[in-house]
């Protein structure tokens, strides 16, 4: 059975526990010189806009080369959440590699989407949601080309609704939506990060419920509630990352619910 995982770092946690399944996202790897953590960690998608754009590009395509921008030591891809600067050629090659991974999605039996946050940078000329803040020098020279958006419930839902509709149009009959329990470390808003996190997760939880109510192919899995109702016992000492044993417990529970024990 083929399962495609989309979303924040918690999606990477889950896919590592899905033993016995064919996971196309595990086929993407970069050297440690480009990303120091998981070899496929650059696949992380955090906001509903960037998720929608990735899914739409499978069928409709899009021009993304101009979203590779120069920095002091090379070039960075604004569609990725992080990563070390590379050559422009390598950044273009990597975009193609990621596109090839997403072209495997229509061939999958199920999709797991982990929703992360609602703060999103947007490129006006490309009508594209980014995965990271554009470099200050690039943004200052572009005269308002890049703007920060805090998606409200209506905007986030509309983007996710388009995403789910597109996935279902591929013939995929099972989409599991969850909200990442990993909190914001910081915020671009002029409020405390704790408040920004509470609002972000609340909006995404509302969106997930509405998607569940609308589509028979969608189910909501409560990984967010499992972790956050444990009075902090599920987190590492940094109060951000979820303990590996808890992730394993959550994934095992998911497997009990959605798979045949045989």
Task: Give 246 or 232, the one with higher predicted confidence.
Answer: 246
Structure tokens at 182: 């990993």
Query: For 5, left (φ over 0), alpha (ψ -120 to 50), or beta?
Result: beta
pLDDT digits over 136-173, tens only?
A: 999 999 888 999 999 999 999 999 999 999 999 999 99
Residue 262: band (very low, low, confident or very high) from pLDDT cuts 50, 70, 90: low
Closest CA to 203 of 120, 108, 137: 120
Task: Give 48 or 260, the one with higher predicted confidence.
Answer: 48
Residue 5: band (very low, low, confident or very high) from pLDDT cuts 50, 70, 90: very high
In this structure, how many other beta carbons lie within 10 angstroms of the beta carbon of residue 59? Answer: 11
The Cα 127–Cα 135 span in angstroms is 18
Structure tokens at 223: 């990984």
Burial class (CB in 10 A: 0-12, 13-18, 19+), 77: buried
Please name the helix (run of DSSP H) or strand (run of DSSP E) that holds residue 27, with its range, or none. Answer: none
The alpha carbon of residue 101 and the mean position of all alpha carbons in its chain are separated, in whole angstroms, by 14
Region 121-137: mean pLDDT is 95
Domains and CATH numbers, the chain: 3-258 (3.40.50)
Q: What share of the chain is helix, strand, coil (3-state, %, to 5)?
A: 45, 15, 40
Indicate if the pLDDT at residue 261 is higher than 70. no
């Amino acid at each position: 059975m083929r399962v495609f995982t989309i979303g924040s770092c918690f999606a990477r946690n889950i896919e590592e526990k899905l033993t016995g399944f064919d996971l196309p996202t595990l086929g993407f790897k970069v050297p440690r010189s480009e990303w120091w953590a998981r070899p496929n960690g650059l696949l992380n998608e955090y906001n509903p806009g960037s998720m929608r754009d990735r899914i739409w590009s499978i069928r409709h395509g899009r021009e993304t080369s101009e979203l590779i921008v120069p920095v002091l030591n090379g070039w960075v891809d604004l569609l990725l959440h992080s990563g070390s600067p590379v050559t422009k050629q390598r950044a273009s090659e990597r975009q193609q590699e990621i596109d090839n991974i997403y072209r495997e999605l229509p061939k999958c039996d199920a999709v797991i989407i982990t929703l992360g946050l609602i703060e999103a940078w947007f490129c006006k000329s490309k009508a594209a949601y980014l995965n990271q803040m554009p470099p200050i020098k690039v943004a200052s020279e572009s005269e308002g080309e890049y703007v920060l958006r805090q998606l409200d419930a209506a905007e986030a839902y509309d983007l996710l609704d388009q995403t789910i509709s597109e996935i279902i149009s591929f013939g995929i009959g099972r989409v599991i939506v969850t909200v990442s329990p990993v909190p914001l470390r910081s915020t671009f808003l002029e409020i405390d990060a704790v408040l920004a996190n509470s609002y972000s997760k609340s909006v995404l939880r509302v969106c997930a419920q509405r998607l569940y109510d609308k589509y028979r192919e969608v189910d909501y899995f409560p990984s967010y509630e499992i972790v956050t109702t444990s009075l902090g016992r599920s987190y590492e000492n940094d109060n951000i990352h979820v303990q590996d044993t808890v992730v394993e417990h959550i994934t095992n529970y998911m497997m009990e619910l959605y798979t045949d024990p045989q």
